[in-house]
């Protein structure tokens, strides 16, 4: 899938990049297609006690056991009147050391845009919930505004787990100390 | 027994042939560039290793040749000789001879005569000219020299790990297919499923077997360690080792390496007395340390035993009270085993005073954690003045564990049998509430009982005091045992006992140690495997 834009990169100055676009709360977010391993209907998830609420649990994705998280909950983007539907979708994202599932409410859609469409996030965006370092830029396509996320930065273990030790077991505390 | 010797010989052969090939390569490099110090160092190292291995296997002639060769490479390395002139053909023929000797061992033939070579090597050491006459006739032999490939392959443990993971998944699918074939009830499918199951089982055991190594491969490092530590500590220690042939998964051996090192250092440093103290106590001046391994059903027991001063239970008991680990009353009621278990508490063993008084203890909690991570057990037995024995109870293989499956809030969980004492089903009358805790009597012992649901889903605060009225009807309870502490866990329903393949928790959830891993059930459902040590710690931290 990435072969095409690669070859065009050389041909043109303005390469085309492919995004996977999904909705969190009211906004649209995009991630580069290379970072998405697959999209599936959310499989059966085993809830893990003693984990933060946004960690939905673990699921079996073709033999891989992966953690599934809900970014709407993680970033407080969920509107009270919009609970996660019974059938949701999970994007398997390949982070640096592991694969993780991100639960989204609608089928994520691919979208090709020119690299130049992505603008640096303006300074005044001060979303307290999403730290701007995960934001690679803002893509403006007609009336649509897509926040392009850098998943590799977002999904470091410390970021994703928020490492609030009080949310995990006391046993985990003692282990990090020893 | 015969087959193990055979196995050792095969390993020796594989390594020796590899050394020989590497030596042939390096000596050619050295011939091209006599200043190649890298090649020289390698040659020296390879000769040294070959010498040690050959002597350990009793192939003394090979050891002797390698020893003499090593000496000369050492001289060249130290610039006392140069790799020029008559030295070159002698060393080349030396390496060729080593190759012939190794092949002779492999084919059970008589070793070739090496008098002439040894004589020449001796002359070189003395600085005399070697006797190189008739050397040319060897050329024929060189041409007919056989190129050989070893019967053994070296394999990275990583690849074996991968194979093991795949087999683990195959086992899960096997269970699934067996379940499905029972449901569908087609005889042809049932036959095929049964056949698949047999093959999968055999494959699993073969892969597990391929990962087994002798405990001796770790034990063999200890004579040197003991000597060094004993010298530093000014102790006189005799080390005895038994059970080196006991087989265990290579990764388990890797994980216990530091733990064993720790226990041995502790035994010499703190357990054994100085010769003067020993004589004063009426013991032989030389302390005795035993490293042993033995197989017990599916487990391997590794013991570190010393005949030193032993653990003073009274002072451990006093320290435990001072540190607030137990009330004075509670401590008085504990038996000696329970008191000694405090040594494994984090922090407890770090206390310097304890080390001095009990003669034990730096970082025993670290040892305990390593053993816990394998799902094993650490036990200690000691008689004051007579010595201490630490016993590591280890699984033979990491991947497959016996487990008890149960249900909690409509989800399946597994708990390793290694930490399970028993299961009981009790009516509410069998419980008492003591200090906000449910207690019941099991085998004449008071055991605290906690609802696993409340323990897991309680949030961050301490547990609210238990009420007898919370209990309705029969309660299914799993009695777990960790570090001599028994704890009853109330679950919704027992399911069954089953061998499970535990997969480690994937990142980033691996920081949550309440779960030792996950397993996939025949139904494809993900099942969390509870970690009893972490669960016990959680209970102790959260109890009302």
Q: Tell me: the pLDDT tens digits for B286-308?
A: 999 999 999 887 789 999 999 99
In a domain, A76, yes or no: yes
Kindly state whether residue A13 falls inside one of the protein's structural domains: no
| Alpha-carbon Rg for chain B in angstroms | 30
Q: For A92, how many CA atoms within 13 A lie in the half-sphere containing its CB?
A: 17
- Return the residue in B462, B513, B520 with the most chain A beta carbons within 10 A, the one to mutate for interface testing: B513
Burial B475-492 (b: 16+ CB within 10 A, else e): bbbbbbbbbbebbbbbbb
| Furthest C-alpha separation in chain A | 56
List the CATH code of the domain at B157-211: 1.10.287.560
Task: Render pLDDT for A58-70 as a digit per residue (tens, 0 to 9).
Answer: 988 876 788 899 9
> Distance between terminal CA atoms of chain B?
57
Q: What is the pLDDT of residue B191?
A: 93
**Class of domain B214-395 as given by CATH:** alpha beta
* Chain-chain contact of B506 with A168 (C-beta, under 8 angstroms): no
**Beta-carbon separation of A169 and B507 below 8 A:** no
Q: Do residues A50 and B514 make contact, with C-beta atoms less than 8 angstroms apart?
A: yes
Q: β-pairing, B445-451 with B485-491?
A: parallel
Task: Looking at the complex, report in whole angstroms how far the Cα of residue A77 sits from the nearest Cα belonging to chain B.
Answer: 22
Q: A162 in contact with B at a CB cutoff of 8 Å? A: no
Count Cβ neighbours within 10 Å for each residue of B184-214 and write b for 16 or more, e otherwise: eeeeeeeeebeebbeebeebbeebbeebebb
Spatial CA neighbour of B527 closest among A99, A51, A46, A42: A46
Give the number of domains in chain A: 1
Higher pLDDT, A80 or A144: A144
- Tokens (6 digits) for A54: 């946004």
Does any domain span residue A112?
yes
pLDDT of the residue at A178: 33
Tokens 């017990």, residue located: B296
Signed CA dihedral, A4, A6, A11, A14: sign only? positive
In a domain, A104, yes or no: yes
Q: Which of helix, strand or coil describes residue B69?
A: helix
* CA–CA separation, B43 and B75 (whole Å): 12
Q: For residue B543, which residues of chain A lie inside 8 Å, CB to CB?
A: none
How confident is the model at residue B348, as a pLDDT? Answer: 66
| Record: contact B525-A66, CB cut-off 8 A | no
Domain span at A22? 18-177
For chain A, the average pLDDT equals 76
Residue A19: its pLDDT value, please? 92
Whether the per-residue pLDDT at B134 is higher than 70: the answer is no
Inter-chain contact B511–A172, Cβ cutoff 8 Å?
A: yes
Q: Summarize the confidence of residues B28-53 as an average pLDDT.
A: 87
pLDDT of residue B352: 45
Q: Residue A146 has which token pair?
A: 């897509």
Considering CB atoms only, which of B515, B520, B534 is closest to A48? B515
- Band the pLDDT of B448: cuts 50, 70, 90: very high
ipTM above 0.85, yes or no: no
| Residue B248 clears pLDDT 80, i.e. is over it | yes
- Torsion, Cα of B301, B307, B313, B315 (10° steps): -130
Band (pLDDT 50/70/90 cuts) for residue A1 is very low
Which tokens is B513 given? 């140690």
**Span B240-247, average pLDDT:** 90
pLDDT band at residue A122, thresholds of 50, 70 and 90?
Answer: low
Task: Decide if B508 and A67 are in contact by the 8 Å CB cutoff.
Answer: yes
- Measured in angstroms, the CA of A50 and the nearest CA of chain B are apart by 7
Q: Which residue has the tokens 């003045």?
A: B385
Domain ranges of chain B: 2-144, 157-211, 214-395, 400-542
Domain assignment present for residue A116? The answer is: yes
Which of B516, B432, B511 has the alpha carbon at shortest distance from B467? B432
Residue A5 in this model has a pLDDT that exceeds 70: no
Q: For residue B537, list chain A residues with Cβ-Cβ distance below 8 A.
A: 170-171, 174
Among B144-153, B311-320, B366-375, where is mean pLDDT lowest? B144-153
> Which residues of B make CB contacts under 8 Å with A?
169, 346, 365-366, 369, 411, 456-457, 460, 503, 505-509, 511-515, 518, 520, 524-528, 533-535, 537-538, 541-542
Please say if the pLDDT value at position A76 is more than 90.
no
Q: Would you tell me how many other CB atoms lie within 10 Å of the CB of residue B84? A: 10
Nearest residue in A to B172, CA atom: A63
Equal fold, B2-144 vs B214-395:
no
What percentage of chain B reaches a pLDDT higher than 70? Answer: 91
A50: chain B residues, CB-CB within 8 Å: 456, 512, 514, 538
Number of Cβ within 10 Å of residue A87's Cβ equals 8
Question: What is the pLDDT confidence band of residue B358, given thresholds at 50, 70 and 90?
Answer: very low
- Cβ distance A67 to B541 less than 8 Å, yes or no, reads no
Residue-averaged pLDDT of chain B: 83
A36: domain CATH number is 2.40.50.180
Chain segment B177-221, per-residue pLDDT in tens: 888 898 899 999 999 999 999 999 899 888 888 888 889 889 988
Q: For an interface test with B, which of A56, A65, A68, A176 has the most B Cβ atoms less than 10 Å from its Cβ?
A: A65
DSSP state of B110: P
Residue A10 covered by a domain: no
Number of neighbours of residue A128 by Cβ within 10 angstroms: 7
Contact B234, B262 (CB under 8 A): no
Max Cα-Cα span within chain B: 101
Q: Classify domain B400-542 by CATH number.
A: 2.40.50.180
- Contact across the interface for B511 and A176, Cβ inside 8 Å: yes
State percent of chain B over pLDDT 90.
17
Return the pLDDT at B302.
Answer: 95
Higher-scoring residue by pLDDT: B286, B138: B286
Write down the pLDDT at residue A2.
46
**Statement: residue B72 has pLDDT above 60:** yes
Query: Residue B413: is its pLDDT beyond 90?
Result: yes
Position A132 confidence tier, pLDDT thresholds 50, 70, 90: low
- CB within 8 Å of B540: residues ≥ 6 apart: none
Q: Model confidence at A177, in pLDDT bands (50, 70, 90)? A: very low
Q: What is the Cα–Cα distance from B361 to B341, expressed in whole angstroms?
A: 11
CB B536 within 8 A of CB B483: yes
Q: Which fold has domain B2-144?
A: 1.20.120
Taking residues B529-543, report their average pLDDT: 88
A8 within a domain of the structure (yes/no)? no
Neighbours of B395 (CB within 10 A): 20
Beta carbons of B440 and B447 less than 8 angstroms apart? yes
For residue A155, which residues of chain B lie inside 8 Å, CB to CB?
508
Helices (H), ranges, A41-86: 71-74
Q: Residue B147: what pLDDT?
A: 67
Handedness of CA B491, B492, B493, B499 (dihedral sign): negative
Cβ contact B525–A44 (<8 Å): yes
Asked if residue B374 has pLDDT above 60, the reply is: yes
* Nearest CB partner across the interface for A65, out of B456, B526, B533: B526
For chain B, say whether A96 makes contact (Cβ under 8 Å).
no
Å between A57 CA and nearest CA of chain B: 9
B493-498 mean pLDDT:
88
The full DSSP string for B23-40 is: HHHHHHHHHH-TT-HHHH
Please indicate, yes or no, if residue A2 is contained in any of the structural domains: no
For A28, A36, A161, B543, the CA distances from A22, given in Å and listed in that order, are: 6, 12, 22, 44
Q: Where are the alpha helices (DSSP H) in B58-156?
A: 60-77, 87-106, 115-126, 138-144
Assess whether the previous peptide bond of B260 is cis (omega < 30° from 0). Answer: no
């Amino acid at each position: 899938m990435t072969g095409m834009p690669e070859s065009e990169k050389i041909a043109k100055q303005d390469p085309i990049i492919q995004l996977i676009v999904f909705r969190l709360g009211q906004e649209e977010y995009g991630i580069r297609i290379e970072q998405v391993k697959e999209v599936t209907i959310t499989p059966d998830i085993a809830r893990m006690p003693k984990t933060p609420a946004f960690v939905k649990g673990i699921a079996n994705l073709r033999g891989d056991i992966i953690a599934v998280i809900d970014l709407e909950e993680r970033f407080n983007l969920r509107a009270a009147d919009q609970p996660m539907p019974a059938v949701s979708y999970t994007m398997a994202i390949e982070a640096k050391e592991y694969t993780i599932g991100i639960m989204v409410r609608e089928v994520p859609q691919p979208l090709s845009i020119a690299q130049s469409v992505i603008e640096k996030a303006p300074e005044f965006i001060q979303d307290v919930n999403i730290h701007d370092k995960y934001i690679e830029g803002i893509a403006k396509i007609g009336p649509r505004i897509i926040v392009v996320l850098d998943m590799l930065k977002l999904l470091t273990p410390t970021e994703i787990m928020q490492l609030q030790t009080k949310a995990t077991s006391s046993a985990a505390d003692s282990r990090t100390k020893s | 027994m015969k087959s193990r010797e055979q196995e050792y010989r095969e390993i020796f052969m594989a390594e020796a042939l590899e050394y020989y090939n590497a030596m042939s390569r390096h000596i050619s490099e050295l011939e091209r560039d006599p200043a190649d110090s890298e090649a020289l160092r390698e040659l020296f190292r390879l000769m040294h290793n070959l010498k040690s291995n050959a002597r350990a296997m009793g192939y003394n002639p090979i050891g002797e040749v390698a020893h003499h060769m090593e000496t000369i490479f050492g001289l060249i390395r130290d610039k006392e000789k140069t790799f020029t002139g008559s030295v070159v053909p002698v060393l080349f023929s030396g390496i060729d001879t080593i190759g012939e000797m190794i092949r002779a061992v492999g084919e059970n033939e008589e070793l070739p005569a090496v008098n002439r070579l040894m004589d020449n090597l001796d002359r070189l050491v003395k600085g005399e000219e070697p006797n190189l006459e008739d050397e040319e006739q060897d050329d024929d032999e060189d041409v007919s020299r056989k190129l050989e490939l070893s019967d053994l392959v070296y394999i990275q443990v990583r690849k074996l790990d991968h194979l093991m993971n795949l087999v683990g998944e195959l086992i899960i699918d096997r269970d699934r297919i067996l379940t499905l074939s029972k449901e569908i009830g087609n005889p042809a499918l049932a036959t095929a499923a049964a056949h698949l199951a047999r093959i999968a089982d055999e494959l699993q055991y073969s892969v597990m077997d391929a990962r087994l190594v002798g405990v001796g491969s770790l034990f063999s490092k200890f004579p040197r360690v003991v000597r060094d530590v004993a010298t530093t500590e000014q102790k006189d220690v005799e080390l005895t080792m038994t059970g080196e042939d006991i087989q265990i998964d290579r990764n388990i051996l890797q994980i216990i390496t530091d733990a064993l090192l720790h226990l041995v250092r502790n035994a010499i440093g703190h357990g054994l007395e100085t010769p003067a103290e020993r004589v004063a106590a009426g013991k032989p001046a030389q302390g005795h340390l035993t490293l042993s391994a033995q197989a017990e059903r599916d487990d391997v027991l590794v013991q570190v035993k010393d005949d030193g001063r032993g653990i003073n239970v009274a002072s451990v008991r006093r320290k435990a009270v001072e540190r607030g680990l137990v009330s004075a009353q509670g401590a008085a009621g504990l038996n000696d085993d329970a008191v000694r278990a405090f040594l494994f508490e984090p922090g407890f063993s770090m206390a310097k005073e304890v080390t001095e008084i009990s003669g034990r203890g730096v970082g025993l909690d670290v040892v305990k954690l390593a053993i816990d991570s394998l799902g094993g057990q650490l036990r200690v037995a000691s008689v004051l003045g007579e010595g201490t024995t630490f016993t590591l109870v280890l699984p033979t293989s990491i991947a497959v564990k016996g487990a008890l499956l149960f249900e909690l809030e409509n989800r399946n969980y597994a708990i390793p049998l290694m930490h399970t004492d028993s299961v009981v089903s009790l009516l509410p009358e069998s419980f008492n509430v003591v200090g906000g805790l449910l207690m019941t009597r099991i085998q004449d012992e008071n055991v605290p009982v906690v609802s696993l649901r409340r323990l897991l889903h309680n949030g961050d605060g301490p547990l609210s005091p238990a009420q007898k009225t919370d209990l309705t009807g029969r309660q299914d309870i799993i009695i777990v045992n960790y570090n001599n502490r028994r704890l009853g866990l109330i679950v919704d329903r027992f399911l069954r006992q089953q061998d499970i393949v535990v997969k480690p928790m994937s990142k980033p959830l691996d920081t949550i140690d309440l779960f030792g891993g996950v397993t996939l059930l025949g139904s494809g459902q993900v099942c969390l495997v509870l970690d009893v040590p972490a669960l016990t710690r959680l209970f102790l931290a959260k109890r009302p």
